[in-house]
Structure 1
Amino acid sequence: MAKTRSQKSKSKSKSKSGKRERSVLNSTGAFSTNPHASTKTPSTSNSNPPIARPDESLLIEATALLHENSSPDAALPLLKKYLETNPNSPQALDLLGEAHIELGDTEAAFAAFSQSASLDPEGQASPAGTGPEKFLWLAQLSSAETAVAYYERGVEIIKRWLSTTSTTSHPVVTAERGLAKKLVSALCGLAEIYMSDLCMSPDAEPRCERYVTEALLAVPESAVALQTLASVRISQQRVGDAVAALRRAFDGWRGLPPAHEDVPPYADRVNLSKLLIETGEYEVALEVLERLRDEDDQLPDLWYLGGWCLFLLGEVEREREGGGGEWEESWGTAREWLENCLLLYNALEWEDEGIRDHAKEILSNIKKELPERMDKGEDVEDGGEDGGEEGEWESDDDDDEMED
C-alpha cells in the first residue's frame, strides 16, 4: 500500500454517528439491556393494539429516547419518575444505568446495575428476561478481581440463553440482542484481565487460552476474538501467530463500508492498529489508520499512532536503503500526522500527556534529520511545553485548514 499524505483535519467530525465514544465502555448499544427495543406494539386484523398504562408509557418513551434518539439526558427524568412507582423494576434500573453511563456518571450507573442485579440475579425477571448485560456493565465498572466474577456470571447467563433458544419463548429476542457477540466480548474481557491486572496468577495463561478458544468457537471470525488471540500470542512471544490472527481480523471487514454490522467498533479498530504496529506490520496498520481517519479525524490518539507508525516505517526503509529515498517521504508524512496530533491535543484539552510527550520527541528526531519541510505549507510550532498551543481548527466553505 502506498503512503498517503495526511489530509487537513476538519473542525467537524466525520463520524457516521455524529458523536465520539466517551470511553472504552462504548455507547449504550454495546450491551443494550432492553429486551424490547422496539416501541411498536403488534396488532392483529381483529383487534386494536393494547394501550399502555401511563407508567409503562414512561418506560417506552424513555427507551426510545435512549436507544433510538441517543438522548440520555431526556430519558433520565422519565426513568426516575417511573421508578418512583416501580422501584423494583430491573428493566428500568438497567435503562437508568445505561443513561448514567452515557452521561458519564459511572458511580450512579454502578449503583443502578447493582440494584438490578440483586433483584434479578438470574437475568430473567420478566418473561423475556432483562438479561445478562447488567453483569457485563458491572464488570467494566469494577476492579479486576470483582470484574472476573461479574464477567463469569454474565457468560453463564448468556450461555444458558443461547443453549435454550430453540425451546424457549424468546428466541427472536435472543437473536436481536446479539448475545453471541456479547459472549465473545465478555470472554475476551476476561482474557484481557488475565493478560494485565491478574497476569501473575498461576493459572493466567491457561485461562487466557480457554477464554479465547471459547470466544472463537462462539464466533469463529470475530475480529475482537482474533485480536485478543493476537495479544495472547504476543505475550507468548509467538509473533508470527499473532500476525496471522491480526491479518485474519482485518481481512474479515477490510472491504466493508464503515456502517456494516461486521465492522468492529472504532475503538476496537484503533486497538487493531496498535497491535499491528507492535508486530511490525506497518503498512497494514497505516491502511487501518487511514480508514479510521476518513471516518473520524478528531481523535489525537489516531494522529499519534499514524505518526509513530510512519516514523517506524521510515526507520525500516532507511536501514534497508542505506540512505535517502522513501524514508524521507515517510518521515515527512509522519511529521504532518504528529503536528495534527498536537493541534488536536490542545484544542480538545486531551488528558494523555504520554501521547503529547512522545509525539514531541518523535518530531524532534525528525526535525534533526529533515530540518526543512518537504512541502510548501506553513510549519506548525509545538507551542512549548503544551505542544501546539497556538494551533486552532478553522473551516470554511472551500477548505478546512489548520493554522498556528
Structure 2
Amino acid sequence: MDELSLLARALPDAPPPSPEVVERARLRLAAARREQGPPARARRRGPAWGWTLGAAATTIAVVLAIVTLVANMTPAPAPVLVPEGGNSALLQLADRVAKLPDERGAYWRRPLLNDALIRVRAGNQAFNVLFSSRIDLWQPRDPRDPVQAEQWQQFVRPATEADERAWRAAGSPGTVQRVCTPGTRAGDCAKLRLRSKPTQCVYTRAVEPDGVLGDSRIGELTLADLAELPGDAGQLREKLRAYWKILRDKEPGYSFEKFLATSTALLELPVKPSVRAAALRLLAGLPTTRVRGTITDPLGRPGIAVTFRESEGFTAEFGADDEVAQRYTTILDPRTGAVLAEHAAIADESTDGLAKGTFMTYQAWAPEAGWTGERPQRPRDCRLSARPLP
C-alpha cells in the first residue's frame, strides 16, 4: 500500500515499509515536483503507482478542528463565482487580483494542511478515519531573522458521526486495522493507533543568511528574488524562461512549455498581487489549463476549481477497492487568486464506505496563511530537530 511510507514514519507502532515501497515513493515525489500534478495512475490501465500520502508533497500539515473537517468532507454547494467562458474566468480573476494592495509583514507564514480518508476495521465494524498532519513555516522578510518550521501529527480519528458510532459499536478501540486490497502483504497493511490530540511535534529554528526558499519548483529563489518578479505577463514569461534554462541544463529534454505549468507555484508563494495576476494570465493561456467551475474546498471555503494539466481518468485504492475513479483539482481563492487547496482528490464514483464527491486526500492552506506582523515563538512540548524538516 503506497500510503504506508507516511504512516510508518508517523506511527511508531506500525511496521516499517519495505525498501521497494520507499524507493517507489522517492521516484513518485521526483516526478510530482516536475509534473505539478497528483501522482496517480491512469484509469483501469497504466503503471500501478497510485496516490501516496507522503510522496504527493513532503510538506504536510494540520487540519482545523474535527467539526470543521467532518462538516466538509463532502463538498457543499457554493455560490456561483465563475461565469461561463472557460479560461476567461482566470483572466477576470487576474484583473481583480492586480488591483489588490501589496501585503506587509515581518514574516510570511505558510501553515500547510494535509488530510487523508482511510478505511479501517475493528471487530465486526468497518468505518473511515481521518489521518491529519501539519507543517507550519515562518519565513522572515529580513534574512537576519530566524526561519522556523514546526511539524506534527494532528490526529487520527473517526471521520464522521456515522463513523464514530461504528467505532463506539466496536468498543471504542485505540488501535484499528486498515482495510487493504486483496493480496496485500500483512506487513504492508499497518494497524493504526487512533489519536485525538497533536503528537510527535518537531521543529527547526535557525538563521538562513542566503534566504533560499524550500520550494524549488521554479528555481532556488529568495524572497528578494520573488519581490523583483515583474507584474507583466510577457515580462514574467521571459523571466521564467531564464529560470527554465538553468533547470534545462540539469535536465535535458525538459521543455519550456512543461516548465510554464510550474508557474502555479507563484500562486502559492509570497509574491505581489500583480505578479500573481500575471501568473494567472500565463496559466490561462496554457492548453492544459481548464476552469472546472465553483466548489467548496475541504475547509468550507468557496473557491474556483481549476486543473493545470491533463488529469482525466485517474484511479486510487480505497479500502478493498483498488480502482476507485477520482479527479484532481486545484482550488483558488476567488478574491486573491492564491491557492486554497491542491492535489485535492475527489471520488468520482461511490464504493464501499465512500460516497461520490467526497474528498479522499488533499493539501490546504490554513486561513492564517500569508504575511503577518507576528513573529514565531519557540513551540512548547516540541523537540528541536537537528535535521531540516521536509
Instruction: Return the TM-score normalized by structure 2.
Output: 0.24
Which structure has the larger Rg? 1
Higher-strand-fraction structure: 2
**TM-score (normalised: structure 1):** 0.24
Higher relative contact order (CA 8 A, sep 6+): 2
